Structure 1
Amino acid sequence: MHVVIAPDCFTGTLTATQAAEAMAAGWHDTAPRDALTLLPLSDGGPGFIDVLGRSLEGDTVAVTVSDPLGREVPGAVLVVERDGGRTAYVESAQAAGLHLLAADERNPALTSTWGVGELLLAALEEKPDRVVVGLGGSGTNDAGAGLLAALGAGPAHDLARGGRALATAPDDALSGLLAVREQLREVDLVIATDVDNPLLGFKGASAVFGPQKGATPEVAQELEGALGRFTEIVARTLPEPLDLLSGAPRRLEREPGAGAAGGLGYALLLLGGRRVSGVQLVLESVGFHDVVRGSDLVITGEGTFDWQSLHGKVASGVAEAALEAGLPTVVLAGQVLVGRRETMGLGISGTYAVAETPEQLDAALLDPVGTLRARAARVARTWSAGR
């Protein structure tokens, strides 16, 4: 039996590679005769560069950038030459990731995306034809204002002090935005997102993702107003773009993916970027369809399999691609918070949680590799035909 193991990272505990290796070890414990292919994945969030670097022949350029609170952290740009073009890949979570913040530091009213701008500048120094920015797993909610400041679109004291400060930003805070757009005009800027949320509203960045980053309901409401103010500044600065087909005005804050990574998607749209599904881009880059050809089962997973997992995340992308290939998919996650009815439409044949009780969750956090390995071994007893 041939099994493809293709998980995302288990946020906060395991990288995608570590998760795949733990699953493979557990499966081998039960079914040592099965052939296993490990294919760690990402949807644009943490691990984006590592995952692509395993499959794409390219050079990794090491850089030092700022984290959400302005401290120096290591980052990298992956530069790939292919089909006569040069592409630079950037992982925004390296500079804006929630994992860079201690629990008592998580406050999206204060965190900035300045460091993501530094990553983008490093990518542009490589003279690429295309820049792909992976979005996801952020600890910020500033609509990408910090990124724009780092690129020279406006003063750092107006734009790089977190989302809350945007409420009092002056009308001319983005006086350099047009010049930055012009500098990027010859670059194909691709926004690889894990979600399709707009910037504002009940499905926007502040309302949906703010609480995950430490925002209280009051802070989330405050951020909603501050980001609304930011869109007013944009409207005063940037001519309203038009839809190429209909000629109708485009409200970029309403575009799918504008709310990704706390609004980083919005800032990149302002710079002329175009959005793609992060997981689909990764699946194509790593040759997922070729890898699964001739296999019997696909296993994917992530830390928490919930309603968000059903839309644009690795698990849903893998399941849909496997379904096209006529293969069953099994999800193995730290926690499973959705039922069978919600997953059947994606072609998921089974979901299995490492932790089903608070006690098991504590054990999983203390020994993520061991508990994931043990759960994979039990799943193999159900699914392996060769044990």
Structure 2
Amino acid sequence: MKRVVVAPDKFKGSLTAAEVANALADGLVTGDPTLEVLCAPVADGGDGTVAAVVASGWSPVLVNTTGPTGEPISASYAARGSVAVVELASAVGLEALPGGVPDPLGASTFGLGTVIRHALEGGAREIVIGLGGSASTDGGAGMLQALGVRVVDAEGNDVTRGGGPLRVARRVDLSRLHPAVAQTRFRLACDVDNPLLGRSGATAVYAPQKGATADDLVALEEAMTQWARVVRAATGRDDSDRAGAGAAGGTAFGAISVLGAQTQPGIETVLDLVDFRRVLAGADLVVTGEGSLDAQSLHGKAPIGVAAAARQSGVPVVAVAGRSALSDIQLRDAGIIRAYTLAELEPDLDRSIANAADLLRRIGRTIAATRSTVGRRGES
């Protein structure tokens, strides 16, 4: 084994994907200085997506925008030529809430729309939106308001931002929608198949994670139902039952219905953006990972997508995680030879999180030392 590609996602609450990759790379090279190690951090379409794309050579663009509850913040998107990659989480995600305090009825995607507007006015004609980590349930209304769409009540007044106020929406005016939208292709990096409404919809499934009480859930479902009604009247199409429309508090619904967006699996979109198959050329081993490998990982998470791409190229894969709840059979079915965990080295969770970088370096050295058993092509 001579060339190793290190392609992890973040270890949430501990290290970014780039930090994980760098720590593993340090350990690998320390364990075997003859190795050529290429760091290629990835993401699944949620927070960290822009950072992963920038790490692959795209240009970062900083934008002054507003957070989910309207406070001024800065967010970045990635640009290359006429393509831009925008991350919902960095502008209006849960981690952007002031003090971490949720506002289930008032949180809005307006700040995401501001970032998209900036990309449009910068010449982007293909925009990829990573939808993970939303703090709001507003059906994408705020995003569209930032792009010029008017949402008005029975008296013709603009409806205030947030999901709750959409209960009084009576009309959507698309006449001032940013003109560049018509010339732009929108792609949504999204791994959920929930519709906008109903028992498996955006409100019922995801709003409780954003602080919604039982009363809030009733109000938000009424608001999303009304929002779907007025959007249908304005566009002539009903996407409320479409699989994935409920993603990111229904942001996908607004993007699909008004921007003509198409949904795509998150990790596959990111791997395409970072040209991961080119990165794989000549590799003898891929090291991937995330904070926790579990049953949820098997449904569209980054390590599984990386393993699938590597398997198609005949490159064996090992994974590194804080902990793993997957059996050896599950790992091998996913194309992963072996999983190394921080928990094996440090069972105490708090110490493991605090010392994650050092533990990852130790694992990197271990992988380098056992290269003869994990670095043979086709073993996956």
| 1:164 lines up with 2:164 in the alignment | yes
Normalising by structure 2, we get a TM-score of 0.84
**Cα pair 1:309 1:316 within 8 Å, conserved:** yes
Any conservation in 2 of the 1:192–1:276 contact (CA below 8 Å)? yes
Deviation at 1:378, TM superposition (A): 4.4
1:320 CA drift (Å): 0.9
Match of 1:247 in 2: none
SS at match of 2:255: helix
Deviation at 1:122, TM superposition (A): 0.7
RMSD: 3.1
Partner residue in 2 for 1:244? none
User: Which runs of 5 or more residues in structure 1 are unaligned?
Assistant: 241-250
Local SS of the residue matching 1:301: strand
Deviations for 1:32-54, whole angstroms, at most 9, x for unmatched residues? 44332110112222222222223
Residues 368 and 223 from structure 1, CA distance in 2 versus in 1: closer, same or farther, beyond 3 angstroms?
A: farther
2: CA distance between counterparts of 1:25 and 1:61? 29
Q: How does 1:343-382 map to 2 (within 5 A)?
A: 343-355=331-343, 360-378=348-366, 380-382=368-370
Where 1:197 maps in the other structure, the secondary structure is: coil
Shift of 1:377: 4.0
Structure 1 residues 203 and 357: CA distance shift in structure 2, 3 A: farther
Distance in 2 between the 1:17 and 1:153 partners?
Answer: 37
1:303 correspondence with 2:280: no
Cα 1:310/1:122, change in 2 over 3 Å: same
Preserved contact between residue 158 and residue 169 of structure 1 (Cα < 8 Å): no
Report how far residue 70 of structure 1 moved: 1.3
Q: Look up the match of 1:10.
A: 11
AA aligned to 2:262 is R
CA spacing shift, 1:183–1:34, aligned 2, 3 Å:
closer
Q: 1:382 to 1:122 in 2, by over 3 A?
A: same
Q: Which residue of structure 1 aligns with residue 256 of structure 2?
A: 269
Alignment of 1:281-320 (within 5 A): 281-320=269-308
8 Å Cα contact 1:5/1:37 also seen in 2: yes
In 1, Cα distance between equivalents of 2:365 and 2:201: 40
Distance 1:358 1:101, change over 3 A: farther
Aligned to 1:302, the other structure's residue is in SS state: strand
- Residues 56 and 285 of structure 1 are in contact (CA less than 8 Å); yes or no, is this contact kept in structure 2? no
Letter in 1 for 2:5: V
Structure 2 match to 1:113: 109
Residue of structure 1 in register with 2:310 after alignment: 322
Residue by residue over 1:325-347, the C-alpha shift from the partner in whole angstroms, topping out at 9 and shown as x without a partner, is 12222222223344444444322
Deviations 1:186-232 (A, max 9, x none): 21122222444333344433344334434456655654443233222
Kindly indicate whether the alpha-carbon contact (under 8 Å) linking 2:84 and 2:127 is maintained by their aligned counterparts in 1.
yes
2:226 to 224, 229, 253: 229
Distance 2:169 2:226 in 1: 10
Aligned to 1:67: 67
Partner in structure 2 of residue 259 of structure 1: 246
Taking structure 1 as the reference length, the TM-score comes to: 0.83
1:321 Cα deviation from its structure 2 partner: 0.5
Bigger Cα displacement from structure 2, 181-190 vs 61-70:
181-190
Match of 2:378? none
- 2:267–2:301 contact (8 Å) kept in structure 1: yes
Q: Equivalents in 2 of 1:130, 1:75: separation in Å?
A: 19
Matched AA of 1:332: V
CA–CA distance in 2 between the matches of 1:366 and 1:179?
50
Taking the aligned partners of 2:117 and 2:354, their CA distance within structure 1 comes to 38
> In structure 2, do the counterparts of structure 1 residues 195 and 278 end up closer, same or farther at CA, with 3 Å as the change threshold?
same
- SS state of the match for residue 348, structure 2? helix
Aligned AA for 2:63?
A: V
Letter in 2 for 1:233: V
Sequence identity of aligned pairs in percent?
Answer: 37
Matching residue's letter, 1:302: E
1:369: Cα distance to partner?
2.1
**1:89/1:223 Cα in 2 relative to 1: closer, same or farther (>3 Å)?**
same
Q: Cα offset for 1:17? A: 0.8
Q: 1:109 to 1:196 in 2, by over 3 A?
A: same
CA distance in 1, matches of 2:183, 2:267: 26
